[in-house]
Amino acid sequence: MTDKSDKTDGNGRKVTKKQVLMVTMMVVVAFGAWQYAAMNAGFRSEKAAWVRIPANATVEQAKDSIISSLGEDFGSKVARLWNGNIASSHGAYLIQPREKAWRVAKNIGQGRQTPVKVTFNNVRTFDRLAELLSSKMDFSKEDFLTDAARIAAADTLTAEQMTVQFLPDTYEAYWSATTDELIAKIRSNYARFWTPERKDKAASIGLTPMQASILASIVEEETNRRDERPAIARLYLNRLHKGMPLQADPTVKFAWGDPTVRRITGDMLKIESPYNTYKTAGLPPGVIRLPEASTIDAVLNAPPHNYIYMCARPDGSGRHDFTADYSTHLRNAANYRKKTFSTKK
């Protein structure tokens, strides 16, 4: 007697329920084996790779980012295992060689980001700083500038006061961090730098913390020679304490708008600007670059001397000759012009 539940295949042969069940089990087992293999596939790469999921990405765009970052084979496995939640996955993830696909997908899906290192130094303008930071983070340059201005206004800070708080350093942050979060981290570092001891040192030489940073920015523009910076800092302090004009060429270049200028001309010295220290007494109102912490310390710990003049040496070493005597300074300057400009002819 034939079981009514039995069926026939395409050739008219009878297929029992038991056979259907066995085939189904085989399919399930095969799929399970494939799924297991996919989940436990390792990232076959000699180098780690970054996966970035932008905040405004679609699910398809996020999957494309995973695949393009990790390669078609491994990336496709991770993309299939990923939960597809953009809100929780927004961020950057560093994937290590041999890391399992299931773990990568889980980490991305749960937003277990890898912090990125944001380093900036040798930066002259706030606009350039915005470019550097936005290239490392998931926000635009325009967003950074707008939000920095908003924060400064809320704290009743001038643009100069806000800028000086961006101390060059290496900062760790999540790629998905907002502009507010990153700015708060950088400003906190600046606040920690100005310990009571450093504030006392600044006061002892007649400067506020901001003024010390402004002077440090001038010193840093004056020379790349770190060992000369303390002496140059003291020279400028001597001028300030004597009531002399600072007459710092880097401030004139800043006022002129071209820090690459090699020679200061008469027209440059006439420019009307609070940054032209040949015409304006005292320190300028803001930094002319973002000074390093070590240069600020060079100002705070500048060793005593009586020099008030300096002139670059004509040997191209980047070093300076210092003196307290004006006639000696004139001879140094004449020697510099003679050797430097005769060589260029």
Residues 147 and 205 in one domain: no
Residues 54 and 129 in one domain: no
Residue 148 belongs to domain spanning: 116-193
Residues 203 and 298 in one domain: yes
Q: How confident is the model at residue 12 (pLDDT cuts 50, 70, 90)?
A: low
**How many whole angstroms separate alpha carbon 257 and alpha carbon 320?**
25
Residues 205 and 295 in one domain: yes
Residues 206 and 300 in one domain: yes
Read off the pLDDT of each residue in 140-157 and give the average, rounded to a whole number. 97
Q: Let me know: does 79 contact 69? Beta carbons within 8 Å.
A: no
Residue type at 109?
G
Residues 207 and 282 in one domain: yes
Read off the pLDDT of each residue in 267-277 and give the average, rounded to a whole number. 93
Residues 176 and 93 in one domain: no
In a domain, 150, yes or no: yes
Among 186, 213, 187, 185, which Cα is nearest to 199's?
A: 213
Determine the pLDDT at residue 13: 54
Determine the pLDDT at residue 153: 97
Which of 85, 109, 133 terminates a domain? The answer is 109
Q: How confident is the model at residue 263 (pLDDT cuts 50, 70, 90)?
A: confident
Q: Is 244 left (phi over 0), alpha (psi -120 to 50) or beta?
A: beta
% of the chain residues with pLDDT over 70 = 86
In a domain, 21, yes or no: no
**How many whole angstroms separate alpha carbon 86 and alpha carbon 27?**
32
Which of 193, 220, 244 terminates a domain? The answer is 193
Instruction: Give the count of domains, the chain.
Output: 3
Residues 166 and 182 in one domain: yes
In a domain, 41, yes or no: no
In a domain, 214, yes or no: yes
Tell me: pLDDT of 23 over 70.
Answer: no
Residues 288 and 206 in one domain: yes
In a domain, 9, yes or no: no
Residue type at 343?
T
Residues 78 and 93 in one domain: yes
Residues 224 and 273 in one domain: yes
Which of 148, 169, 193 terminates a domain? The answer is 193
Residues 206 and 288 in one domain: yes
In a domain, 260, yes or no: yes
Q: Let me know: does 168 contact 220? Beta carbons within 8 Å.
A: no
Which one is predicted more confidently, 316 or 220? Answer: 220
In a domain, 331, yes or no: no
In a domain, 38, yes or no: no
Output the pTM of the full model. Answer: 0.84
Determine the pLDDT at residue 264: 87
Q: Let me know: does 41 contact 104? Beta carbons within 8 Å.
A: no
